[in-house]
């Protein structure tokens, strides 16, 4: 599952996953309630991603369903039918939050995604679920609708980082079940060719200090202690009262 705010690059990443699969002769399917196929292909072309060629050849399929007219059982059946008819190995669900807007019954929503993930796992498919989180800076919760950790193996966070007066894109692998991964945040850009990680310059990296060098460890952004700050929980007042001078 890829979680992020609108515009951060979730659809671009999903498109690249399909194109990389097509390069390795793995058939893909994108499902969307938000964008028509022509719109997705046009947006991909602006980045130099030739999605149209692979859709024309049948290597990549696209399934759009109107959120105002969706019948969940029929929707699920058409997805699985397309998967089986075209031997799909990579599935992109572009916009899980659109299902919440289309469905009034949260139970149906939960059961649909549980069933879909179980179905794709049984077929050993690569499944990409895109979820829009409304929080712009920082992610308090991955998915408020139901516990996402129980149905997905991986969680990737995409977010904007404000540096000065500009926004930069950042990616973090928050969870990778059954495999080792680095708990690091990397900057990426979106341009010609899609998403690209910015190279890391090890010479300017900040030193990694032990826990006792920080306070507020349970927050998302612990603060580093200054060398003259007390390290005990109570400590002494570092400010000098004017009356004592």
pLDDT for position 86:
97
The average pLDDT across 176-192 equals 88
Q: Which residues does 75 contact at the CB level (< 8 Å), separation at least 6?
A: 65, 112
- In the chain, the domains with their CATH numbers are 2-200 (3.40.50.300)
Q: Express each pLDDT in 2-35 by its tens digit.
A: 989 889 999 999 999 999 999 999 999 999 998 8
DSSP secondary structure letters along 127-168: EEEEEE---SSS-S-S-SSS-GGGT-SEEEEEEEEEETTEEE
Q: Express each pLDDT in 35-59 by its tens digit.
A: 899 999 999 999 999 999 999 999 9
Q: Express each pLDDT in 145-166 by its tens digit.
A: 555 567 888 989 999 988 899 9
pLDDT for position 242:
42
The tokens describing 2, both together, are 């890829």
| pLDDT tops 70 at residue 137 | no
pLDDT > 70: percent of the chain: 85
């Amino acid at each position: 599952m890829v979680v992020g705010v609108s515009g951060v690059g979730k659809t671009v990443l999903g498109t690249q996953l399909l194109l990389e699969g097509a390069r390795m002769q793995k058939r893909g399917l994108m499902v969307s309630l938000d964008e028509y196929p022509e719109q997705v292909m046009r947006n991909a072309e602006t980045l130099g991603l030739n999605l149209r060629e692979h859709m024309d050849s049948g290597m990549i399929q696209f399934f759009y369903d109107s959120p105002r007219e969706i019948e969940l059982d029929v929707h699920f059946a058409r997805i699985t039918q397309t998967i089986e008819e075209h031997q799909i190995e990579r599935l992109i669900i572009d916009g899980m939050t659109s299902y919440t807007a289309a469905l009034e019954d949260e139970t149906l929503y939960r059961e649909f995604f549980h069933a879909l993930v179980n179905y794709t796992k049984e077929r050993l498919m690569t499944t990409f679920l895109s979820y829009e989180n409304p929080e712009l800076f920082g992610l308090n919760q991955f998915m408020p609708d139901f516990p996402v950790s129980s149905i997905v193996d991986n969680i990737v966070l995409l977010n904007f980082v404000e540096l000065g007066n500009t926004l930069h894109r950042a990616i973090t692998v928050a969870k990778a079940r059954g495999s080792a991964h680095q708990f690091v945040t990397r900057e990426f850009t979106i341009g010609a060719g899609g998403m690209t990680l910015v190279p890391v310059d090890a010479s300017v990296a900040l030193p990694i200090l032990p826990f006792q060098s920080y306070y507020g460890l349970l927050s998302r952004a612990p603060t580093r202690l200054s060398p003259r700050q007390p390290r005990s929980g109570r400590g002494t007042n570092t400010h000098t009262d004017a009356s004592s001078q």
